[in-house]
Every structure is written in C-alpha cells, then in structure tokens.
Amino acid sequence: MIETGSPAPDFTLPDQDGEPVSLGDFAGKTVVLYFYPKADTPGCTTQACGVRDHLPNYAEAGAVVLGVSPDPVRRVRRFVDRHGLDFTLLADEDHAVCEAYGVWAEKSMYGRRYWGALRATFIIGPDGVVAHVIPRVTPRTHDDEVLAVLEQLAAA
C-alpha cells in the first residue's frame, strides 16, 4: 500500500459518464481518493452516501473527493443514479489503479477466497504527495475521520 510521504501515482480512469478523469486534473488541490470494493453493496452505499451528505464539509476544507472501485462504468452510473451521488466516482475495471495504490488484495468471505479492492482512503496534498493514509476504513465513520485529518493538515 502506498505510504504517507510517497508521490501519489497518477492515473486516468473513466468516470460515471465514461469521461476520462486524471489525478493530474486536480494538481494544486487536496484530493480525497477513496477505494471501495463494489458499487451498491451495503457498506459501499453507506460510505458513498456519507460522502454525498458531507460534500459541503469537504468543499469547505478545500478538498475534492474521488471514489474508485473495480466496477464497470455502467454499474458505477447505476450506483450514482440510484443514490443521488453528486461527486466523481471512477471505474477501475481492470483494477490497475487499485494495484498501483496497493489496495488490490486477496480476500475471504464465507470460506471463499477472491481478489478485490480493499476499503482504504488516501489524502493527497496539493503537491501530489500522499499526506495521510487510512488503510482500513469503516463506512459509518469514514467522513468524520477524513474531515478530522483534513482539519489537522490545514492547521499544520
């Protein structure tokens, strides 16, 4: 997993509309880059709706939020429409960006082993360097934790 102090790997992925979005598009801004396992599952919905509901707080902190999952664009679009998500979600269908950030891992559920995206968040500073990593995110407390970190970073 990418560590604090490392340059954030640049990428270009399609958003929910199929339009290319690059990390470099946000140079000079603080980016909250969060990875989630699968659109429209209970934990991912809780997390995404939390971000949606706290968007004014992120804007006040001067941060842009990008969510990334290994879903195809059509599934991401459906997720956005179903829950009224008004921020950018990116489709990493070949999981190349998940791999670059070190969040593509073997997982286990009900005795079944499979590969998938870990739920992790990276706060990337305006200089393109990872300022903070939350390696294990809890959907219900995600926004409180990220906003507290953004406040600490602003005060430093």
Residue 49 designated active-site: no
- Residue 9 has φ and ψ, to the nearest 5°, of -60, 130
Set 44, 63, 65, 103: catalytic member: 44
Distance CA 122, CA 130 (A): 7
Q: CA angle, 23 as apex, 52 and 139 as ends, to 5°? A: 35
What is the torsional sign of CA 117, 33, 2, 93?
positive
Tell me the catalytic residues: 44
